[in-house]
């Protein structure tokens, strides 16, 4: 039991400081997704090798190294196959997640294990089984638990997905009733779209044999992929209608989100409540500041500082809390992330016309030509560190005369897939 509580505590820390750390301040899904993508994904040709998590028992004190997460990849670096979590100091095994993929490179199985120190073996804790339709759309995730290796996996809950075209139209969560060996409805999420953008999200719960409304989120956009306002409503069972609850308005400059202003609906009017301000450097987030409205003034609460490498990868994320007594920022947490280059960047798809695909001359000095029967969407050239040095659209000829002598990689995207070739510049 003690070992289990330690595992639960450390996993909770990891969750709080790798996911909730952003959710806490980014004011709902649109802003969260924007910053999550920009801060953690970097560019597609890089993969995360290791993350180190630091926290402070008391704000302002020195940050202690609590956890290290190490990533292992298969498919030549294209797919994460294992995630190992170590307790620090000492690099003691805690948990391990092993993932399997199908022929379409879609995940089909994810098993979480904990380290049994007494037996010196890994014991299964839980498993997620993924199922797909003929179009490789995810249709079901089944979550199963295991009594630390003493019994087979047993169902816990599952999520079933329905689609409208390529968009998810509904997610239904069901719990497993072991007494009756049946699935029982729990929650349902309904989605409406404009193109690929979610415009309406309705959250419902299963009560008394029917779906009952709980919360609804409306999202308006000023352009595709760029939300302008989010309105949250809660269901009033007395009036059988939706009541306003919260509103977030987004402000942009140079196509980058600069502010997310949150208001609560109180007494029939919108009242300022909180805001998130974002600043950037070279188009990447630098500071994300969260403030709350108190006594007709904005007061600091939290902020997150981002450090990026020359390839746009977020290498350090530092969380700070505001000390209202000393009027100073105090470090609360830090995540350090190491990256490495994925080569090849993307494996050729089966439909890619590899036989007609040629890159010449190689070595090149002035103009690089690409021969393929497929329609080229874009061509991107990377140096050996993975930094993009040139990108052109819809062209089979690229001027490389300004590139320094050395080795590069050319990634070509066509209607039928992608391919990467090594290139020498002389």
Q: Is residue 366 part of a domain?
A: yes
pLDDT of residue 150: 59
pLDDT of residue 233: 98
pLDDT of residue 354: 58
Q: Is residue 256 part of a domain?
A: no
325-334 residue pLDDT tens: 999 999 999 9
pLDDT of residue 70: 96
243-293 residue pLDDT tens: 999 999 999 998 899 999 999 999 999 999 999 999 999 888 999 999 999
How many other CB atoms are there within 10 angstroms of residue 306's CB atom?
21
- Biggest alpha carbon distance in the chain? 76
Q: Is residue 63 part of a domain?
A: no
Q: Is residue 374 part of a domain?
A: yes
Q: What's the predicted TM-score (pTM) here?
A: 0.73
Mean pLDDT, consecutive 10-residue stretches, the chain (426 aa), reads 37 39 37 36 68 83 92 76 94 95 87 93 94 92 81 91 94 97 98 94 97 98 92 97 97 93 97 96 93 95 94 92 94 93 53 69 90 84 75 87 84 78 84
pLDDT of residue 23: 39
What CATH number should be reported for the domain holding residue 398?
2.60.40.1930
Q: Residue 406's domain spans which residues?
A: 358-425
Nearest partner of 144 among 129, 130, 125, 127, judged by Cα: 127
Q: Is residue 300 part of a domain?
A: no
Query: Hey, which residues does 124 pair with through a beta bridge?
Result: 113
Q: Is residue 59 part of a domain?
A: no
Written as six digits, the tokens of 289 are 């500041």
pLDDT of residue 353: 56
Please tell me the total count of domains within the chain: 1
Residue pair 68/92 in contact by the 8 Å Cβ criterion: no
Residue pair 352/418 in contact by the 8 Å Cβ criterion: yes
What is the DSSP secondary-structure string of 20-73? HHHHTTS-HHHHHHHHHIIIII--TTEEEEEEEEEE-SSTTSPPEEEEEEEEEE
Q: Is residue 396 part of a domain?
A: yes
């Amino acid at each position: 039991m003690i070992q289990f509580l330690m595992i639960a505590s450390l996993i909770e820390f990891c969750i709080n400081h790798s996911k909730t750390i952003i959710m806490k301040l980014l004011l709902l899904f649109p802003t969260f997704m924007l910053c999550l993508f920009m801060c953690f994904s970097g560019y597609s040709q890089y993969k995360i090798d290791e993350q180190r998590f630091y926290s402070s028992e008391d704000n302002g004190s020195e940050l202690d190294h609590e956890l290290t997460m190490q990533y292992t990849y298969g498919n030549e670096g294209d797919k994460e196959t294992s995630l190992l979590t170590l307790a620090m100091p000492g690099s003691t095994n805690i948990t391990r997640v092993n993932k399997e993929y199908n022929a379409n490179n879609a995940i089909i199985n994810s098993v979480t294990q904990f380290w049994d120190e007494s037996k010196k073996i890994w014991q299964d804790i839980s498993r997620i089984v993924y199922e797909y339709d003929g179009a490789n759309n995810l249709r079901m995730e089944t979550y199963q638990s295991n009594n630390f290796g003493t019994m087979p996996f047993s169902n816990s809950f599952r999520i079933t997905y329905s689609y409208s075209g390529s968009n998810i139209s509904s997610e239904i969560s069901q719990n497993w009733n072991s007494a009756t060996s049946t699935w029982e409805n729990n929650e349902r999420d309904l989605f409406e779209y404009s193109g690929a953008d979610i415009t309406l999200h309705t959250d419902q719960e299963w009560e008394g044999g029917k779906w009952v409304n709980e919360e609804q989120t409306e999202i308006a956009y000023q352009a595709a992929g760029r939300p302008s306002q989010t309105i949250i409503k809660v269901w009033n069972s007395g009036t059988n209608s939706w009541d306003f609850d919260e509103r977030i308005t987004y402000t942009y400059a140079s196509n980058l989100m600069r502010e997310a202003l949150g208001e609560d609906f109180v007494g029939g009017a919108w009242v300022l409540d909180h805001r998130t301000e974002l600043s950037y450097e070279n188009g990447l987030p630098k500071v994300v500041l969260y403030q709350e409205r108190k006594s007709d003034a904005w007061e600091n609460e939290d902020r997150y500082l981002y450090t990026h490498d020359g390839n746009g990868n977020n290498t350090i994320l530092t969380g700070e809390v505001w000390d209202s007594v000393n009027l100073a920022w105090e470090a609360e947490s830090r995540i350090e992330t190491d990256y490495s280059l994925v080569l090849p960047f993307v494996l050729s798809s089966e439909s890619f016309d590899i036989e007609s695909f040629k890159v010449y001359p190689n070595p090149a000095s002035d103009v690089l030509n690409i021969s393929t029967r497929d329609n080229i969407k874009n061509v991107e050239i990377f140096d050996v560190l993975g930094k993009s040095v040139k990108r052109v659209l819809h062209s089979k000829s690229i001027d490389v005369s300004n590139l320094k002598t050395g080795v590069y990689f050319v990634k070509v995207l066509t209607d039928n897939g992608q391919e990467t070739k090594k290139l020498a510049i002389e």
